[in-house]
Amino acid sequence: MPFLGTGVYKNPAAVLIGAPYDATSTYRAGSAHAPASIRWASESVETFSPFQQRDLTDLAISDSGDLDLAGCSPEAMVERVRARVAATSGLPVVIGGDHAVTFGAVAALAERHPDLGVIVLDAHLDLLDEYEGAHWSHATVLRRISDRLGPERCAVLGARSGTRDEWAAAASLAAVARTGDLPPAARAAMRDRPIYLSVDIDAFDPSIAPGTGNPEPLGISIGEFASLLGVLAEHRIVGCDLVEVSPPCDPSGRTSILAAWLLREMLLAFVHPGDTRTE
């Protein structure tokens, strides 16, 4: 089942890429089921956004299906995601999967955009150098990204969990905020950069998004996210993802429905009005 409002286009403006992988998950796994669950949930969401007054059916968006990541080591998974994103000409939109999938997408886009900046929405800092002996993990993803790009090109919003050492390391990032607002200094740092946006569903309060592996209280609201999209729409977004939805942790399905809604709003904000479909 393809994501809502997507079609088959020769030169799509955006391409959805499923990354069903949760081998680095801790506490509660299940995010490997997210791409299928979010596509299913998208059938409950309209293609038209009354907030943006735009419709997915007016845009050339394709769903390329899922990568085959079964049995992959984290290193092999990162390389498969990197290769798939590198081969995508339109805006790559990755549907995870645990947060480790993000590094593959960032690595591909950093090759294409040497001045790439990254904004992450996440309850956790993910700045550990390793977790339980693992170099590649959902708990180390921002550390790996900042090692690659430089911490001054990375910002994390919605952060409210991390070790003492992680919070000390976070001082070198472009911005760290508990809310979903992009601080003025970070706006200035990202102003002229191409940006990759990574949205971990646990950035949201678990009262509205319980279906995730590591829920954390005092999360951001949907309204904060909508306001952030308005800010980011003024920047140059060259890729994005939504990760860490764990459908087995939410039998109600409301986390997958929220994820589908978030993806709709991201696509409508980042795919330009002139990028109309070319069947």
Structural domain containing residue 226 = 14-270
- The pTM score is 0.95
What pLDDT is stored for residue 279 in this prediction?
A: 44
Tens digits of per-residue pLDDT, 166-204? 999 999 999 999 999 999 888 888 988 999 999 999 999
| Angstrom distance (rounded) from CA 247 to CA 234 | 33
User: Within 10 A of 155 (CB to CB), how many other CB atoms are there?
Assistant: 26
Any domain includes 57: yes
End-to-end CA distance of the chain: 20
The CATH number linked to 118 is 3.40.800.10
Any domain includes 8: no
| pLDDT band, very low/low/confident/very high, at 273 (cuts 50, 70, 90) | low
Burial of 35-51, coded b for 16+ CB within 10 Å and e otherwise, reads bbbbbbbbeebebbbee
Tens digits of per-residue pLDDT, 3-58? 999 998 988 999 999 999 998 888 788 999 999 999 999 999 999 999 999 999 99
274 vs 149, which has greater pLDDT? 149
What pLDDT is stored for residue 64 in this prediction?
A: 97
Any domain includes 226: yes
Total domain count, the chain: 1
Any domain includes 199: yes
Any domain includes 6: no
Taking residues 77-102, report their average pLDDT. 96
- 48-49 vs 54-55, strand pairing mode: antiparallel
Any domain includes 83: yes
- For residue 151, pLDDT beyond 50: yes
